[in-house]
Structure 1
Amino acid sequence: MRLRYWLTCLAICLFVPMQAWAAAQIKSARIWRAPDNTRLVFDLTGPVEHNVFSLDNPERIVIDIKSAALQTDIKNILATSSPLKDVRVGKKDSELRIVLDMKARVYPKSFTLAPNQQYGHRLVVDLFDNVQDPVAQVIKQQPEGKPVATVTPPVQKAPAGGQRDVIIAIDAGHGGEDPGAIGPGGLKEKDVVLAIARELQRQINAEKGFRAELVRTGDYFIPLRRRTEIARQKGADLFVSVHADAAPRSTAYGASVYALSDRGATSETARWLADSENRSDLIGGTGNVTLGDKDKVLAGVLLDLSMTASLSSSLDVGQKVLNHMGKITRLHKSRVEQAAFMVLKSPDIPSILVETGFITNPEESRKLNNKSHQLSIARSINAGVKQFFQISPPPGTWLAAQRDAGKTVVGPQEHVVRAGESLSMLAARYQVSLVEIRALNKLKSDVIKVGQKIQIPARTLAAQP
């Protein structure tokens, strides 16, 4: 018995160091391509130490990972269109070396991530594209350690004609290796909200005086603060972030609209004043607040007023969107809620976050995955946004010019056909042409049926005397 005890102790002593020294395994590699960068994600069995550096002539990125072993063929990352030309793997002692042969110069940033609900340990390598003007591209480190590329040149908002469009930045939440909430059957929030965002962009761009810009155009990850930076670069008059919520209970239901909380606004004002990068953006003319010639006290007052005005507009447009959404889906709350969401913290752009429903609710998940329902959600958001800007158009826009000329921009709207109505009657009633109604509704003839839903295009009406 005593011999068996000592043999067991010896085995334990030998086993523990071997486990401690065991190499972490790279289980898989994934790649995501964004417009200005490429993200590589290596899935690991445990934490690792690593080093990343670049070499030129030819252009290469070298990734050294200590005490690691490759358990998969990482050549699969070459299947995606990206600046990668080839990938090679070598080993020296216990150190694994991955060499990325590049088609063009890139700037690497890397970090490791601890396990979460979806993934285990990860090594993330971001490869930022080269730009013609190196001053325009600033690679900065976020507080949480995730790198982000910031392009600072402002976007010219007004065209040569002088009457610009109202610009709506549409942000599809999550993306890339961040799927967001997961619904029954594996439905991913990132896919649903991108589909809704694209449909919303299409509808907004169909209207005179409006232009919609997507913040995320594909399946890739964008850090939260970078999303608001992109909206600012595009000259946005409104930032709309689209999501599909998750809840601990699968019975939770309903759409919601959020604006920034007062407490979040206060803290963000302080952060912007303290952050020289942010101040330089505003001073440079990228935003709608100019602080360059103001002392700190006055700058604080002006920035606080700007944030207050943006928050007031956010609550207004948010309520209009929520009212229209209530016509096509159940609501979680009938009033705009407020929270300190990171993507809403822009001092000079009214911002709302739209939760289109609970993707974890089986019934709502089915609806959210339905193209017709996605179209209806987009239409309701579009209606609320346009209602707000028709009442409060930004100066210098076509909508503002119409208002100043005593004209009213109405619609679009939906009409349910009643007995005795014809398409020509609807055209006369709403003061639009038959051609416009046919085109919007994709009608091949003028025959309509009772109960049929006809979309009436937006139109400009002269003010009544």
Structure 2
Amino acid sequence: MKNNNILCKLFILCLAWLALPLFAANQVQGIRIWPSPDSTRVVFDLKEPADHKSFSLDNPDRLVIDLTNTSGGSQLPNIVGDSALIKAIRSSGDNNSMRVVLDLTKASKANVFTLPPTAPYGHRLVVDLPDSLAAEFVPPPAIRAARDIIIAIDAGHGGEDPGSIGPSGFYEKNITLPIAQRLLTLINQQDGMQAMLVRTNDYYVHVNRRTEIARSQKADLLISVHADAFTSAQPRGASVWVLSQKRATTEVGRMLEQTERHSELLGGVAEIIKDSANERYLAQTVLDLSMHHSMTTAHQVADHVLAELGKVAHLHQSKPQKASLGVLKATDIPSILVEVGFISNPQEEKLLRSSSHQSKLAKAMFNAVNSYFRQSPPADSKYALYRAKEHKVSVGESLSVLAQRYKVSVADLRQYNQLSSDNIHVGQVLRIP
């Protein structure tokens, strides 16, 4: 009798073991849609790594994803977010396989790939859908019609990439964007300068795309805003980074190989360099000069930024730091990366989350940029005209005397220089309308 019971239990265990493959180990636990101006990212949160295949269909346009060893049916978890590119997401399947269909409003060449767990996310299957008709998110070139100085502001991270995470769970991406938006407002209020955001909302932009967006607007400067982090809570303070010489040399070499982009990278000189294969030395000279100018300018701007940041925040490094960072690599755009503080430091994280401190940081960066371009304006910019029409006050001069000399009214002088009274002092620099 005992032997029979043992045999029955063994038989039941064998049946259970045989039945295990019928029940999939994986499961779709969430779906998030991250729209950006030129693409849409769809992220499937999974219990385990995804075993997947995908293909596209047309008439109507669809993307089909088959997930094996994944339980599923017509019921999907709640979908967070939406996009004009996606009509609907639907599914079908059984206990061991799942088919997900993305109904699209137009054709898109999808890139489907997996990502391993990275806090705060687990296993993910990512679908990137480029939107070839969404170029309108980049402000039109007419922004430069009056030859304003153009500042491209890059809010670090975004979307599926949260950046560093503070002790309270706050994301770096939620610090960088509001600071960038405040800086944008300050610059756009200044006559002679215009700013544009590389990332206008909470979505991911590839590092190479960030410099391309800045280049498409012929930016005079790229500022990338980040918050630092470390394995311990002690480090604190702001720092500013510029491109290392080693990375600069590498980038010039890469650009020389990209002959199809020489007209973009060499500017008007590309009209002279017809055959860059035979005249490689000339192309390299132009790119070297461009990179040298960009790096010199970036270093000078970085000095100004550190001087202003030091008035409102603790500095982690008092001199510009050099690094091989992708967002700084543009040969033709002076680029700096500003670490506004350490999000890994509890006190500094709290400070960085504060709107008042964010405003101070943005104001400091604006003052630095304004100060630099006042001293070294591009030759064809409004700032260069301002510089040509400036007067340094000498002993015995008054506002009325200067108004008479330059044939303008005292009221115009006062308003043009934002003076609250007619009092001026020796050494003061006044702009002449």
TM-score range, shorter chain: 0.7 to 0.9
Q: Which residue of 1 aligns with 2:395?
A: none
| CA offset digits 1:124-143 (Å, max 9, x no partner) | 101122429xxx99xxxxxx
- CA distance in 2 between counterparts of 1:334 and 1:181 reads 23
Alignment counterpart, residue 162 of structure 2, candidates 158, 179, 182: 179
SS where residue 186 of structure 1 aligns? Answer: coil
Q: Which residue of 2 aligns with 1:379?
A: 363
RMSD between superposed Cα atoms in Å: 3.7
Matches within 5 A, 1:352-371: 352-371=336-355
Q: Which residue of 1 aligns with 2:125?
A: 123
Tell me if the contact between 2:114 and 2:124 (Cα under 8 Å) persists in the aligned partners.
yes
Tell me if the contact between 1:356 and 1:377 (Cα under 8 Å) persists in the aligned partners.
yes
- Whether 1:461 and 2:431 are equivalent positions in the alignment is yes
Alignment counterpart, residue 281 of structure 1, candidates 257, 261, 273: 261
Tell me if the contact between 2:143 and 2:194 (Cα under 8 Å) persists in the aligned partners.
no
Alignment counterpart, residue 212 of structure 1, candidates 167, 175, 195: 195
Tell me if the contact between 1:189 and 1:244 (Cα under 8 Å) persists in the aligned partners.
yes
Tell me if the contact between 2:28 and 2:77 (Cα under 8 Å) persists in the aligned partners.
no
SS where residue 110 of structure 2 aligns? Answer: strand
Question: Shift in Å at residue 288 of structure 1?
Answer: 7.5
SS where residue 433 of structure 1 aligns? Answer: helix
1:292/1:122 CA distance change after superposition, 3 Å: farther
Question: Shift in Å at residue 20 of structure 1?
Answer: 12
Which amino acid in structure 2 is aligned with residue 177 of structure 1?
E
- CA distance in 2 between counterparts of 1:110 and 1:182 reads 26
- CA distance in 1 between counterparts of 2:183 and 2:320 reads 20
- Whether 1:433 and 2:415 are equivalent positions in the alignment is yes
- CA distance in 2 between counterparts of 1:213 and 1:335 reads 27
- CA distance in 2 between counterparts of 1:311 and 1:87 reads 47
Question: Shift in Å at residue 91 of structure 1?
Answer: 1.8
Tell me if the contact between 1:193 and 1:243 (Cα under 8 Å) persists in the aligned partners.
yes
- CA distance in 2 between counterparts of 1:93 and 1:43 reads 18
User: If you compute each CA radius of gyration, which structure gives the higher value, 1 or 2?
Assistant: 2
SS where residue 306 of structure 2 aligns? Answer: helix
- CA distance in 2 between counterparts of 1:328 and 1:429 reads 34
Question: Shift in Å at residue 301 of structure 1?
Answer: 2.6
Normalised to the residue count of structure 1, the TM-score between the two structures is: 0.76
Segment of structure 1 superposing worse, 224-233 or 75-84: 75-84
Tell me if the contact between 2:234 and 2:345 (Cα under 8 Å) persists in the aligned partners.
yes
Matches within 5 A, 1:30-429: 30-70=32-72, 74=76, 76-77=78-79, 79-91=81-93, 94-131=96-133, 155=141, 158-159=144-145, 163-274=146-257, 276=258, 279-284=259-264, 290=270, 292-294=274-276, 295-403=279-387, 405-407=388-390
1:461/1:323 CA distance change after superposition, 3 Å: same
SS where residue 29 of structure 1 aligns? Answer: strand
Tell me if the contact between 2:64 and 2:101 (Cα under 8 Å) persists in the aligned partners.
yes
Which amino acid in structure 1 is aligned with residue 84 of structure 2?
S
Tell me if the contact between 2:266 and 2:286 (Cα under 8 Å) persists in the aligned partners.
no
Segment of structure 1 superposing worse, 338-347 or 428-437: 428-437
Tell me if the contact between 2:72 and 2:96 (Cα under 8 Å) persists in the aligned partners.
no
- CA distance in 1 between counterparts of 2:155 and 2:63 reads 31
Q: How many residues align?
A: 398
Which amino acid in structure 2 is aligned with residue 191 of structure 1?
N
- CA distance in 1 between counterparts of 2:312 and 2:47 reads 46
Tell me if the contact between 2:72 and 2:94 (Cα under 8 Å) persists in the aligned partners.
no
Question: Shift in Å at residue 23 of structure 1?
Answer: 3.6
Tell me if the contact between 2:34 and 2:83 (Cα under 8 Å) persists in the aligned partners.
no
- CA distance in 2 between counterparts of 1:399 and 1:361 reads 39
1:370/1:232 CA distance change after superposition, 3 Å: same
Tell me if the contact between 1:244 and 1:359 (Cα under 8 Å) persists in the aligned partners.
yes
Query: For structure 2, which runs of at least 5 residues remain unmatched after alignment?
Result: 1-5, 393-409, 422-428
| CA offset digits 1:273-308 (Å, max 9, x no partner) | 23x2xx433414686874655422222232122112
Which amino acid in structure 1 is aligned with residue 263 of structure 2?
I
Which amino acid in structure 1 is aligned with residue 318 of structure 2?
S
1:381/1:78 CA distance change after superposition, 3 Å: closer
Question: Shift in Å at residue 434 of structure 1?
Answer: 10
Question: Shift in Å at residue 92 of structure 1?
Answer: 6.6
